[in-house]
Amino acid sequence: MGHLAPEIDEDPPVLNRLPILLLLTAVVTGCAHRGPVVSNVQSPAALLRAAAANTAVVDDDDAVMAGVNLLGPAPQGVLVKAHAGLRAGAAPKPAIISMPSPNKNDRPGDGKIDTLIMHHTSSAASAERIGGFFSKKESKVSAHFTVGKDGHIVQSVDEAQSAWHAGVSSFDGRANVNGFSIGIEMCNVGDGADPYTDDQYKALGQLVAYILTNYNIKWARVTGHKDVALPKGRKDDPSLNFSYARFKQEVLAVDPHAGM
Ligand SMILES: [Zn+2]
C-alpha cells in the first residue's frame, strides 16, 4: 500500500471521527488527513483515489466496509476451479471464490432444495467485499453466492446448508424460504438505473445453469426476494432493470435443458 502514502507526515493524525480513520492511519503510516472529507464513497477505486488524494473517508457504512477490506486484513478468498456437476449430464460448477460465512443453518426437514431466490446487494461494492461482509458473524446475513459486476462469483455458504438471505418469507404457501432455497446476490446499487453488466449476466448464466440442472429446479421456482419477503413490500430486489429475459437466455445458452 506504499503508493497510498504520497505524503509522509509525522503530525498526529485526526482520529476522532470514524474507525476508518484508524484503519487508514494504521496502515498508511504517518499519513495525515487534511483534504476535503469524501463521503458516500462506493467503490474500492474511489477509496484508492481518496486515499491517494490524502483525504479522509467518512460517513457511510459502505465506505467503512471498503476500508476494512482494502486497508485492514484482506478477505481471505480461496479460488475453487470449475468442476463437474453433481449429476450426470448436468452443467458444471463454475469457478468460485470461497469465503465461508458463519451465518448459516442446517437445512430443515429433508433438506431438499427446489427454489432459487435472486437479490441485489443495494451496494456498489464488489462481490469480494460483500463476501467479506458476510464472513463476519456480526453482519448476521449471508447468501450462497454473490456475483460481481466483473463476473466474479463468491460463495459464502455451501448449497447443502441454509444461508440467511430471505428473512421472514413465504413462497408457494411455505414459510422460511431460506430452508429450501439457494440465494444469489447480484452486485447492484438497486436504484433501477445502475446496470447489470454483460460479465454479470454471463457469470449468472454459468452459475444458474449449474444450480438448476444439479438441483432440478424449475423456472417457475426462480424468483426474486421482493416476491417472497413478508410483509409484502418489505423488499424491492432485484431492481426492475434486472432483465429476467436476458438472464434466462444466458442460462439456456449454457444448458438448454436448465429449468425445464
Ligand atoms: Zn434480498
pLDDT category of residue 136 using cuts at 50, 70 and 90: confident
Distance 90 CA to ligand 1 centre (A): 27
Distance CA 176, CA 181 (A): 9
pLDDT, tens digit (0-9, with 9 covering 90-100), for 166-182: 999 999 999 999 999 99
pLDDT category of residue 139 using cuts at 50, 70 and 90: confident
From the list 128, 159, 185, 250, the catalytic residue is 185
Q: What pLDDT, on the 0 to 100 scale, is given for residue 138? A: 84
Neighbours of 225 (CB within 10 A): 24
CA 141 to centroid of chain Cα atoms:
11
Distance 165 CA to ligand 1 centre (A): 6
Note the helical H segments in the chain: 19-27, 44-52, 61-71, 127-134, 198-215, 225-228, 244-254
Distance CA 34, CA 39 (A): 14
Residue 220 has pLDDT above 70, yes or no: yes
Residue 11 has pLDDT above 50, yes or no: no
Distance CA 84, CA 90 (A): 8
Q: What pLDDT, on the 0 to 100 scale, is given for residue 32? A: 34
Q: Which domains does the chain have, with CATH numbers?
A: 2-71 (no CATH), 78-254 (3.40.80.10)
Distance 124 CA to ligand 1 centre (A): 15
Lowest mean pLDDT among 21-25, 57-61, 106-110: 57-61
Residue 127 has pLDDT above 50, yes or no: yes
128 catalytic residue (yes or no) = no
Q: Pick from 27-31, 86-90, 235-239 the range whose average pLDDT is largest.
A: 235-239
Q: What is the mean pLDDT of the chain?
A: 78
Q: What is the DSSP string of 173-221?
A: TEE-GGGGEEEEEE----SS-SPPPHHHHHHHHHHHHHHHHHHT--GGG
Percent of the chain residues past pLDDT 70, beyond the cut:
71
Task: Provide the 8-state DSSP code for 59.
Answer: S
Q: What is the mean pLDDT of the segment spanning 194-220?
A: 98
Cβ 124 vs Cβ 136: under 8 Å: no
Distance CA 73, CA 75 (A): 6
Q: What pLDDT, on the 0 to 100 scale, is given for residue 54? A: 31
Q: What is the mean pLDDT of the segment spanning 103-111?
A: 95
Residue 232 has pLDDT above 70, yes or no: yes
Distance 9 CA to ligand 1 centre (A): 44
Q: What is the mean pLDDT of the segment spanning 222-247?
A: 95
Peptide bond into 238 cis (omega under 30): yes
Distance 50 CA to ligand 1 centre (A): 30
Cβ neighbours for 66, distance < 8 A, ≥ 6 positions apart: 41, 42, 43, 44, 46, 47, 57, 125, 129
